[in-house]
């Protein structure tokens, strides 16, 4: 097996395990009678699904010695930043929170393994096409839409995916401050990942030499 195919298989493995983990946890969640919509309202679940799908698609592209264009590379970058944010926010704000029915190995995979793997994947195999830094504005759409959805739906249903989004735990001032900090962190991580992606060279052989 050639090097690019080995790398493709590794990408596929991590993506497939993440999707399996989310699927198993969804089954447990639904089995306990919890809302499926609530399950898909967790940023961790959405980001892991997003990143896992990107890894699986990338594995197929790597196996075939191909790379998609700038729009896909921006989506890939967004998935990397989202997963980095998952790891950072979990460590900073959620590590000691009761995780309920979340299985320990799934918790480890989604909050620890995948953030490291996805960021490492970006650093090992950055895109060959440069991503303009001005695209950071586009990258911000996903987290901003998520925060807006979480706050609006939370106010309507009195259910919040995360304690730091619940105004009952300190008021809207505390929520706004936390959201601002998360947004700034997202911007910083986006700029950093784009800059590193533009500077680093892919470790796997170029498409033209892939066989």
Q: Comparing 15 with 206, which gets the higher pLDDT?
A: 15
Under DSSP, the state recorded for 162 is S
What is the band of 210 on the pLDDT scale with cuts at 50, 70, 90?
A: very low
- Domain spans in the chain, listed from the N-terminal domain onward: 3-209
pLDDT tens sequence across 35-90: 999 999 999 999 999 999 999 999 998 888 888 888 999 999 999 999 999 999 99
What per-residue string of b and e applies to 77-96 under the rule 16 or more CB within 10 Å gives b? bbbbbbbbbbbebbeeebee
pLDDT tens sequence across 128-146: 889 998 899 888 888 889 9
Q: Comparing 100 with 174, which gets the higher pLDDT?
A: 174
């Amino acid at each position: 097996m050639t090097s690019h195919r080995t790398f493709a298989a590794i990408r596929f493995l991590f993506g497939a395990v993440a999707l399996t983990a989310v699927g198993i946890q969804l089954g447990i969640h639904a089995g306990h009678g919890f809302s499926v919509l609530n399950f898909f309202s967790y940023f961790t679940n959405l980001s892991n699904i997003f990143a896992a799908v990107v890894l699986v698609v990338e594995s197929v592209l790597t196996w075939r010695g191909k790379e998609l264009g700038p729009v896909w590379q921006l989506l890939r970058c967004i998935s990397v930043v989202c997963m980095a944010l998952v790891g950072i926010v979990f460590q900073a704000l959620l590590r000691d929170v009761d995780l309920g029915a979340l299985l320990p190995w799934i918790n480890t995979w989604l909050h620890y393994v995948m953030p490291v793997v996805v960021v490492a994947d970006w650093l090992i195999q950055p895109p060959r096409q440069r991503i303009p830094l001005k695209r950071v504005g586009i990258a911000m759409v996903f987290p901003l839409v998520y925060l807006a959805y979480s706050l609006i739906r939370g106010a309507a249903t009195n259910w919040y995916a995360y304690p730091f989004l619940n105004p009952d735990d300190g008021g809207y001032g505390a929520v706004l401050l936390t959201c601002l900090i998360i947004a700034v962190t997202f911007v910083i991580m986006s700029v950093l990942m784009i800059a590193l992606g533009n500077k680093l060279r892919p470790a796997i052989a170029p498409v033209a030499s892939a066989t």
